[in-house]
Structure 1
Amino acid sequence: MWLEKLKLNKSLVRSITDEGFISPKEMQARTLTRIVGGQDIIGIGPEGCGKTSTYILGVLNKLKQGFEDAPRALILVPDKERVEEVMAEIERLNKNKTIRVVGLYAAPAIESQLNALADGCDIVVATPDRARAIYLKLALNLNKILMFVVDDAELIVKQGLQLPVVELANSIQKCQHLVFSEVIHERLEKMIDPFMRQPVLIEVEELGETTVSTHPQLLYQLPNFRTKLNLLSLLLDDAEIFTKTVVFVNTRLTAEKVYNHLKVRLKGEIAILNPVFFESAGLESIDEFYESDTVRVLIIADELQGNLDLQGLPFIIHAELPEDKQTFISRIINSDSGGEEVLAITLSTDFELPVVRRIEQAIGQKMPVADLPEDLIVDVEQRDPERKVQTHKAPKETEERGAAFHEKKASNAKDYNYSSGLKAKMNKKKKH
């Protein structure tokens, strides 16, 4: 399979077989032939789908022999730990000891990295900022680069390292570009558009087997946190629908920020579980929230909170996604089949989409993507500090949406099997 269909050289096939790779994964099977053919590739897939081994095999297959003083492949990754992981993977798959690899990352002594480059290498694995810094010192020769690879691109964008990536890519006259990421969104597209040449998008989805029963879910994809606050205001204004609702955030300071945004409109109907500040309305336990006749919205921070009994609450909203996916999953498990139906709503920015994908892998199902309300105010972030932040309404169906609002894929176009009561709630009607 490796030799016949993927067009890898025999020595590389031998090293793959020795390492126990019996057959290629879907990402490798769909991507390697295109890499061998010289196409620009955007590979999207979950953690563990084989993205790293795919481009390493592609690079090793193209280089074949190490004989140049200047590098012929530049691989950009988010941090030092990832540099070391990729170098270890190259070492594992590369049986050709003439190919030399150098790692560049932030370290106290830059001289050792400069010396390693001066001695000659074939592959450079680097963080974007360190590679750019050394390039500006005229110590990183990009004249012979054949392959330019960006791995974990979504994390590079999250760290704000788009500019070094684009500058390095534009400093190379002509080469093949490979970009790999767990998700693709508007910010990532803006980074790679200047240097990608008619790329082929290859997307792999690997969902696990459905092992748990979860509450019905809805996912709202939003551009930033301010728009999340606007959506929360819009949803929670309706007291007839959102009777008892918990809103989860990651930190107690964020809980205060959400509370301050909502308290003017919700007045005495909102509280924080164990607030930081004395002047904020607070409750000491989830039981107190259940018993309250006035408070219908409770903001809960993951900090200092253990397992909570959420049975009987009709709405669970995650305004932020917890770092531990198991924490999220434990809250949406439907353990009471005979009780009232519960709706779990998740608000996600582009940066949080990788966490969403990992959760979907774990529960074996996609979160249905909800359309944004037409009267939602979408805050637009401005880079120029002298310009005021502008706002506009969410685009209607007849308007063309930006790249951050992708069309739903076929896998997300599902008919929701909600009860009539829950449908009435989401349609803002009373059940008769």
Structure 2
Amino acid sequence: MSDSLPSFEKFKLNKQLLEAVAESGYEKPTPIQDRAIPLALAGHDILGIAQTGTGKTAAYVLPILYKIKYAQGNHPRALILAPTRELVLQIEQEVIRFGKHTDLRYVSLFGGLGPKTQIETVQKGVDLIIATPGRFMDLYKRGEVYTRDIKTMVMDEADKMLDMGFMPQIRAILEIIPVKRQNLLFSATFNERIERLSQEFLEFPEKIEIAPQATTAETIQQVKYYVPNIKTKIDLLEHLFTKETLNRVIVFTKSKKNAEAVFHFLERRDIGEVKVIHANKGQNTRINSMDLFKAGDVRILVATDVAARGLDITEVSHVINFDVPLIYEDYVHRIGRTGRAEKDGAAITFINPAEVYHFERIESIIRMQVPEAPIPEEVPIAPTPYEEKQGYERELDLQKRRDDPDFKGAFHDKKERPKTNPAKPLEKKRGNKNSKAKRNRNQMKTKSKWKNK
């Protein structure tokens, strides 16, 4: 066995797992692994607060594989929940990596594909299920998943699950799995919602906080640019790709529309192979794009936040936030795609006038002031179209109004309207005149009627 494993050997994992760890190139446990693995092996519930890229997946995968040891029966004995199909696939890769010398059976359950193949795999017998909450419940309701043998349950990226509205499915799952089980909850951030979830989900948990709440890795060099409009953002993006050394880059946008626009712009430039992934892309297309990016065949990957938590690539040199994320904690997850495995990385954020408000709150969450860089002189500063400028001002008003209900906003008409509408007297006057004429006509009809009699 490799001599590089004395620190992993202290966990007293079985030979098959230690061999796999050695072959994976792990030389020593990361801080989250060093603290979480012994507690998980001892059967404790765990609340782990660790930023992305700290090795937390291995911190719970290794204890699970050790506990279930070998293939047994037909029903799952461990369940790992994750918010996105990308993260499910990433966890699956860790299970394959560390479990390759065992005969353990696993299945990944996620949407975007028909359930037929997944159901067939479950029916053959599995020891471990990795799933998104929605697809897991779908198969359970079909009667395809038997839950009574589940002894360990992991909830990874719990903060993202709550952001995506999975709480009803999570509660439903908690009702159908055994009460006596070991629970492990991992999150990059710790807020009131995570605290409430931990109280509902965990029993006397051991809390492990590797980094302060929502901090970013020290290996990531961050910088921000204040950019007046979308056209200047595009020009600055092109400048960075043509003038700077950006080897393997993920460009994050806030919407599918922006992702497609940035993708088509970059695709027309001679700056290397470009791919785009977002929710409207088919599952196979997304997997193929990520595989090409991981292999180094694609230089630039344009993505929405659907990919912010599911990419485990150690060679990403830069992350560019073309748009500031509206879910502030996603900033940590986005830039966590670079600077992984103690390698250096860089995170660049473009901030338009309406996004200044959001980024100031991000800086408050990560408890640091991101250095500002001036826009290079070679980048032309395009004038902001009137409609775009109005849109920024409306968005700022909306955000400020949420913070201060009494805020009237730039579009508020500060002049009070006259108490009396000048149009009303005219209408009233016309009404009086018409009413008088009507009365005269009625009187004439009455006289005529009596005259005829």
Q: TM-score, normalised by structure 1?
A: 0.52
Q: CA deviation at 1:211?
A: 6.3
State the AA in 1 paired with 2:77.
R
Q: Counterpart in 2 of 1:21? A: 26
- Map residues 161-176 of structure 1 onto 2, 5 A cutoff: 161-173=166-178, 174-176=180-182
The amino acid of 2:71's aligned partner reads G
Q: Within the alignment, does 1:66 sit opposite 2:76 as a pair?
A: no
2:80 counterpart SS class: strand
Which residue of 182, 195, 201 maps to 2:201?
195
Partner SS state of residue 188, structure 1:
helix
* Aligned length in residues: 257
Q: Distance in 2 between matches of 1:177 and 1:378?
A: 41
1:139 aligns with 2:169: no
Letter in 1 for 2:149: K
The answer to whether structure 1 residue 119 and structure 2 residue 124 are counterparts is: yes
Distance (Å, rounded) in 1 between the aligned partners of 2:186 and 2:369? 18
Confirm or deny that 1:208 pairs with 2:218: yes
Question: Would the alpha carbon gap of residues 84 and 361 (structure 1) be closer, same or farther in structure 2, given more than 3 Å must change?
Answer: farther
**Amino acid across the alignment from 2:145:** L
SS of aligned partner of 1:179 = strand
User: Where does residue 371 of structure 1 map in the other structure?
Assistant: none
How far apart in 1 are the matches of 2:325 and 2:360?
A: 5
**Post-superposition CA distance 1:391-412 (Å, at most 9, x none):** 9xxxxxxxxxxxxxxxxxxxxx
Paired with 1:63 and 1:172, the residues of 2 have a C-alpha distance of 17
1:38 equivalenced with 2:43 (yes/no)? yes
Amino acid at match of 1:184: F
In structure 1, the gaps of 5 or more residues are 215-249, 252-317, 332-342, 364-376, 381-390, 392-432
CA distance in 2, matches of 1:170, 1:362: 44
Displacement of 1:193: 2.3
Contact 1:153 1:181 in 2 (8 A): yes
1:380-395 correspondence runs (5 A): none
Deviations, residues 198-257 of structure 1 (Å, cap 9, x unaligned): 11110112741696899xxxxxxxxxxxxxxxxxxxxxxxxxxxxxxxxxxx89xxxxxx
Q: Does 1:106 align with 2:111?
A: yes
Contact residue 46 and residue 184 of structure 2 kept, 8 A: yes
Task: Answer whether contact 1:3 1:9 (CA < 8 A) is retained.
Answer: no
Deviation at 1:97, TM superposition (A): 4.0
Partners of 2:36 and 2:104 lie apart in 1 by 23
Runs of 4+ with >3 A deviation: 1-4, 209-214, 318-331, 343-348, 359-363, 377-380
Q: 1:213 to 1:76 in 2, by over 3 A?
A: closer
Q: Is the 8 A contact 1:2 1:8 kept in 2?
A: no
> How far has the Cα of 1:362 moved from its partner?
8.3
Paired amino acid for 2:17: L
Which residue of 160, 164, 167 corresponds with 2:165?
160
Higher helix share: 2
Partners in 1 of 2:70 and 2:369 — Cα distance?
A: 39
Contact 2:222–2:370 (CA<8 Å) still a contact in 1?
Answer: no
Quote how far apart the aligned CAs of 1:50 are: 0.6
SS at structure 2 position matched to 1:52: helix
Q: Does 1:185 align with 2:191?
A: yes
Aligned-residue RMSD, C-alpha = 3.9
What is the distance in 2 between the residues matched to 1:213 and 1:143?
Answer: 50
- Check conservation: 2:46, 2:207, Cα contact below 8 A: yes
Q: Tell me the distance in 1 between the aligned counterparts of 2:53 and 2:88.
A: 17
8 Å CA contact 1:43–1:202 kept in 2: the answer is yes
How far did residue 102 of structure 1 move?
0.6
* CA-CA distance at 1:4 after TM superposition: 4.4
Distance verdict in 2 for CA 1:362–1:137, change over 3 Å: farther
Give the structure 1 partner of residue 289 of structure 2.
none
Answer yes or no: is the 8 Å Cα contact 2:8–2:28 preserved in 1: no
The structure with the larger Rg is: 2
Superposed displacement of residue 78, structure 1: 1.0
Paired residue type of 1:195: F
In 2, the alpha carbon distance for the partners of 1:153 and 1:160 equals: 11
Q: Report sequence identity in percent.
A: 27
CA distance 1:143–1:2, change in 2 (3 Å): farther
Letter in 1 for 2:21: I
Cα contact 1:105–1:127 (8 A) shared by 2: yes
TM-aligned CA distance change 1:96 to 1:210, over 3 Å: closer
Q: Distance in 2 between matches of 1:140 and 1:92?
A: 25
